[in-house]
């Protein structure tokens, strides 16, 4: 397979070991096409035979005249069928004879991950069974799937890409203590083709990320990270690349959430400017087209909405002008307002989309994985090589594009597993000491009260001797299970290494802090030492209905001692009042 990258980046042939045919033990594993034109379901559409017997020039004309190539409803399929039959007969009459000209489809398999956060090791799937959780194979199971599909690709002549949408290392002992090097080495072993920086990839500073980029055997792409001094794209990322593979010029671009400047310590992103994602991506897409890209894939460290239907309803009321005025945009808005993206890989929110979402206007296909490599994303695109357009897509399982990496269904690659376990032992051996016992499970919540939120903020307030304490929900990363508690457990819950700091503030200012975190879609803060009642239907700045500290109504003029984290005190997570 021909395989190289434009813009001075070169991706060599992947080291693919010969072996058995691609099989897994699971009976659930099979390709499940959506209700659209697909190589796997053509036999169910007798009228499609009209297309196959047309010569190439008429086949292309038929596809164009028939209108939208995507079929979504039975009513649309009925009218599409009638139009195809009519146009097919017409074109056959014009041609005068039938010719054997089948569609020239080429399969492009795209594996995708996002928000791995260092989770390349095996983990327990407590969300499936809290008492007897099955084992998820993590990086080793993902490696085996990818290796076997690459073997199959060599035999059958299709193409494979492996891509990541950011936040690769921060959050586990292996990822954080190795400063991301173990994760990049894993990605090199797998043979990733490209990655976009996420906001957490700057958590150990810009220089550390540069070191990771240096050791990567794959390019890092982002169209919206600029060098403040030069006014040009940051020299350590590419705004776009073109991978040439099996006759296809595949353009890849990316964008890093503009929120990174509000989510990172200023020293970690010093000298960098994170510009609006939509115009940056549009420039990159236009450049890719000008340089001959046939297909364009966007890696965006931005999340698709939690509810796609609700998200699109809101989107229908927006214009490009109103979206560009928002402080943050989501991946659905990118797919809708950036013209020319064929496939978009989202991230950042840790919310998986088992079934792809397709923008009804741009027809950009959007996918997004869950976090922590519990799943491997997989979508097959079928490209009509005459027109270089995506004819259809499918995915490998009944539940869509996301394969849950249960070890008993997807055997781990033994070589990769042995290497990961050695790395795990290297970094985790000093964190196995038991420091306490949890008599029950402490769960966290992204809004409101939760046992673990209360435990952490109570400990902060007690340690600091403060009247009131608060932290951001995003700083509490995992639940605490019942049983012995190790140093490693504490690290996984609070992996950022933040410090407790105190400051004195009036009741009026504390209320303003809460109000700032409730603006727009804000969820507020995890607190201790007080009570907050708010109404999200009220205007911004007026949502706190009642507040008390120390069991008494908040005194706007009294000065209280407040405990929080150094991260929030630098104005991060949107708390610009504390800057």
**pLDDT (tens digit, 9 = 90+) per residue, 93-111?**
545 443 445 789 999 999 9
Residue 67 and residue 149 in one domain: no
Identify the residue with better confidence: 517 or 85.
517
Residue 107, SS3? strand
Using alpha carbons, select from 255, 424, 470, 273 the residue that is nearest to residue 347: 255
pTM of the model: 0.79
Q: What CATH number does residue 197 fall under? A: 3.60.21.10
Residue 270, SS3? coil
Query: Looking at the domain assignment, is residue 334 inside a domain?
Result: yes
Residue 397 and residue 514 in one domain: no
**pLDDT (tens digit, 9 = 90+) per residue, 240-272?**
999 999 999 999 999 999 999 999 999 999 999
Residue 169 and residue 286 in one domain: yes
Q: What percent of the chain has pLDDT over 70?
A: 83
Identify the residue with better confidence: 45 or 567.
567
Residue 224 and residue 147 in one domain: yes
Query: Looking at the domain assignment, is residue 144 inside a domain?
Result: yes
Q: Minimum mean pLDDT among 44-53, 72-81, 269-278: which range?
A: 44-53
Which pLDDT score, from 0 to 100, does residue 85 have?
Answer: 52
Domain boundary (377, 410, 425) is at: 425
Using alpha carbons, select from 246, 277, 265 the residue that is nearest to residue 104: 246
Residue 320 and residue 467 in one domain: no
Q: Domain range holding 68?
A: 42-95
- Which tokens hold the place of 491? 């690290």
Q: How confident is the model at residue 151 (pLDDT cuts 50, 70, 90)?
A: very high
Cα separation, 120 vs 420, in Å, equals: 7
Residue 88 and residue 120 in one domain: no
Query: Looking at the domain assignment, is residue 48 inside a domain?
Result: yes
Q: How confident is the model at residue 68 (pLDDT cuts 50, 70, 90)?
A: very low
Query: Looking at the domain assignment, is residue 30 inside a domain?
Result: no
Q: What CATH number does residue 552 fall under? A: 3.90.780.10
Q: How confident is the model at residue 448 (pLDDT cuts 50, 70, 90)?
A: confident
Residue 88 and residue 109 in one domain: no
Query: Looking at the domain assignment, is residue 412 inside a domain?
Result: yes
Using alpha carbons, select from 396, 334, 388, 387 the residue that is nearest to residue 365: 334
CA distances from 518 to 178, 302, 454, 529 (A): 36, 21, 19, 19
Residue 447 and residue 397 in one domain: no
Residue 391 and residue 490 in one domain: no
**pLDDT (tens digit, 9 = 90+) per residue, 20-56?**
233 333 323 333 333 333 333 322 333 333 343 344 3
Which pLDDT score, from 0 to 100, does residue 89 have?
Answer: 53
Cα separation, 528 vs 573, in Å, equals: 19
Query: For the chain, what is the domain count?
Result: 3
Residue 335 and residue 226 in one domain: yes
Residue 522 and residue 554 in one domain: yes
Neighbours of 306 (CB within 10 A): 10
- Gap between the terminal Cα atoms of the chain: 53
Cα separation, 242 vs 251, in Å, equals: 4
Residue 166 and residue 276 in one domain: yes
Cα separation, 457 vs 556, in Å, equals: 22
Using alpha carbons, select from 421, 12, 435 the residue that is nearest to residue 244: 12
Which pLDDT score, from 0 to 100, does residue 88 have?
Answer: 52
> What's the sign of the alpha-carbon dihedral 11, 13, 19, 22?
positive
């Amino acid at each position: 397979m021909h395989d190289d990258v434009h813009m001075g980046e070169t991706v060599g042939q992947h080291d693919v070991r010969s072996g058995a045919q691609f099989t897994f033990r699971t009976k659930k594993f099979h390709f499940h096409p959506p209700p659209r034109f697909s190589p796997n379901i053509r036999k169910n559409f007798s009228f499609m035979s009209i297309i196959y017997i047309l010569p190439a020039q008429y086949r292309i004309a038929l596809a164009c005249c028939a209108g939208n190539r995507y079929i979504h409803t039975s009513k649309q399929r009925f009218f599409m069928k009638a139009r195809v039959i009519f146009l097919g007969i017409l074109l056959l009459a014009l041609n005068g004879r039938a010719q054997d000209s089948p569609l020239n489809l080429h399969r492009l398999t795209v594996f995708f991950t996002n928000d791995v956060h260092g989770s390349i090791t095996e983990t327990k799937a407590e969300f499936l069974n809290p008492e007897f959780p099955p084992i998820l194979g993590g990086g080793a199971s993902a490696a085996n799937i990818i290796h076997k599909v690459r073997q199959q690709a060599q035999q059958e002549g299709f193409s494979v890409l492996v891509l990541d949408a950011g936040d690769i290392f921060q959050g586990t002992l292996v990822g954080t203590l190795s400063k991301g090097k173990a994760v990049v080495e894993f990605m090199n072993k797998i043979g990733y083709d490209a990655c976009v920086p996420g906001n957490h990839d700057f958590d150990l500073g810009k220089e550390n990320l540069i070191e990771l980029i240096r050791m990567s055997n794959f390019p890092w792409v982002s169209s919206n990270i600029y060098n403040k001094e030069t006014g040009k794209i940051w020299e350590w990322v590419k705004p776009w690349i073109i991978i040439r593979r099996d006759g296809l010029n595949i353009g890849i671009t990316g964008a890093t959430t503009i929120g990174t400047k509000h989510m990172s310590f200023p020293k970690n992103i010093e000298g960098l400017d994170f510009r609006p994602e939509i115009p940056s991506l549009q420039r990159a897409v236009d450049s890719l087209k000008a340089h001959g890209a046939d297909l364009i894939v966007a890696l965006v460290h931005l999340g698709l909405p939690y509810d796609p239907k609700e998200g699109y309803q809101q989107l229908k009321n927006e214009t490009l002008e109103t979206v560009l005025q928002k402080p943050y945009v989501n991946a659905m808005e990118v797919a809708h307002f950036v013209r020319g993206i064929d496939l978009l890989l989202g991230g950042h929110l840790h919310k998986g989309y088992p079934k792809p979402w397709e923008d009804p206007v741009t027809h950009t296909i959007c996918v997004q994985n869950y976090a922590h490599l519990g799943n491997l994303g997989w979508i097959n695109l079928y490209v009509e090589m005459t027109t270089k357009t995506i004819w259809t897509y499918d995915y490998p399982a009944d539940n869509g594009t996301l394969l849950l990496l249960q070890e008993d269904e997807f055997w781990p690659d033994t070589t990769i597993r042995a290497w990961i376990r050695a790395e795990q032992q290297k970094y985790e051996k000093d964190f196995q000491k038991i420091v306490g016992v949890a008599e029950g499970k402490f769960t966290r919540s992204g809004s409101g009260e939760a046992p673990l939120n209360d435990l952490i903020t109570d400990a902060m307030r007690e340690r600091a001797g403060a009247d009131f304490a608060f932290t951001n929900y995003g700083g509490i990363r995992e639940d605490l299970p019942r049983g012995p508690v190790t140093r490693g457990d504490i690290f996984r819950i609070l992996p950022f290494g933040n410090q407790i700091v105190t400051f004195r503030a009036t009741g009026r200012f504390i209320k303003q802090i809460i109000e700032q975190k409730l603006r727009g879609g804000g969820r507020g803060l995890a607190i201790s030492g007080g009570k907050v009642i708010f109404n999200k239907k009220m205007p911004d700045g007026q949502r706190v209905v009642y507040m008390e500290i120390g069991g008494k109504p908040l005194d706007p003029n009294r000065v209280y001692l407040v405990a929080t984290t150094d991260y929030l005190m630098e104005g991060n997570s949107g708390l610009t009042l504390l800057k």
